Every structure is written in structure tokens, then in C-alpha cells.
Amino acid sequence: MKRILTIILAIAALVACNPDNDKLEFNPSQLPGTKWEGELKLYEGNRLESASTVTLRFDTADSGEFFQKRSGSGNKENYRFSYTAKNNMLSFDCPVISGSWSVSDYNSQTMKLTLEPSKNGVMVLSVK
């Protein structure tokens, strides 16, 4: 009996420490009023084409502003964008990030976006 109790407690401890428990389901309705900063990498095949520091500010449920500073450049660019969000997808209408991006590795503080279906763009963002 003690052995069974020990096994049950060990399993409960492992489940409680599982890092997957920290992941939340992406909820697009929580985007308005948030600001995310991080890095955008665009690839041509396996070769890194460009990298930049970016900020996405979600002003409303369908619009926001995108700020970009390309690596090696002192220039900052900003663009207004419109977006739609459905399930784990964000679709942007914006010169630099236009297209559909899948949301992964999401929690309340970080998220990773991957350009679909090409997967030649990746944004890793943290809430600010």
C-alpha cells in the first residue's frame, strides 16, 4: 500500500511541475490595448534575409501600429495595420508583415508567430 501511495504522489508531483501547464490558449480578444516587442526574422530558404527589432501595438480589435528598426540601420519605420484574429491565426494587412501568422508558444507574457504557409518569417515577442 505504501508503494502505491508513493507512486501516486510521484506522478502528482510530476504533473504539477510539467512546464506545459504554463501555456495558455491564445485568446485574440485579449490583444486590444497590448504592446508586444521582440524580433522579426525573415528567411530566403535557409538563409537569414533580414532581422529587425519590432513592436506591435494592438490598439483595437482590428487595428494597430507596427514599429521596426532593421539590424545595422539607424532608421525606424512605422506602419498602421489592420488585422483579423481567428483561433491561433493572426492575419495582418501591413507592408512588412502582411499575411497569415500562426501563434505558438503563447502565454500571457510571450508568443511566437510564424508566417504561413511559407514559414519564412518568425516573430518572437514579449508583452511590454
Express each pLDDT in 77-105 by its tens digit: 999 999 999 989 999 999 999 999 999 99
Are the C-beta atoms of residues 26 and 113 closer than 8 Å to each other? Answer: no
> Residue 94 is part of which domain span?
24-127
Residue 115 clears pLDDT 80, i.e. is over it: yes
- Name the DSSP letter for residue 108: S
The pLDDT of residue 25 is 85
Express each pLDDT in 22-62 by its tens digit: 557 899 999 999 999 999 999 998 899 999 999 999 999 99
Kindly report the CATH number assigned to the domain that includes residue 123.
2.40.128.20
66 part of a folded domain = yes
The pLDDT of residue 72 is 78
10 part of a folded domain = no
74 part of a folded domain = yes
Are the C-beta atoms of residues 92 and 84 closer than 8 Å to each other? Answer: no
The pLDDT of residue 4 is 55
91 part of a folded domain = yes
Q: For 25-69, give the DSSP string.
A: ---GGG-TTEEEEEEEEEEETTEEEEEEEEEEEE-SSSEEEEEEE
Average pLDDT over residues 72-78: 85
Residue 5 binned pLDDT confidence (cut-offs 50, 70, 90): very low
37 part of a folded domain = yes
Question: How many domains is the chain partitioned into structurally?
Answer: 1
Cell of 30: 485579449
49 part of a folded domain = yes
The pLDDT of residue 15 is 46
81 part of a folded domain = yes
Average pLDDT over residues 16-20: 48
98 part of a folded domain = yes
pTM for the whole structure: 0.78
Residue 13 clears pLDDT 70, i.e. is over it: no
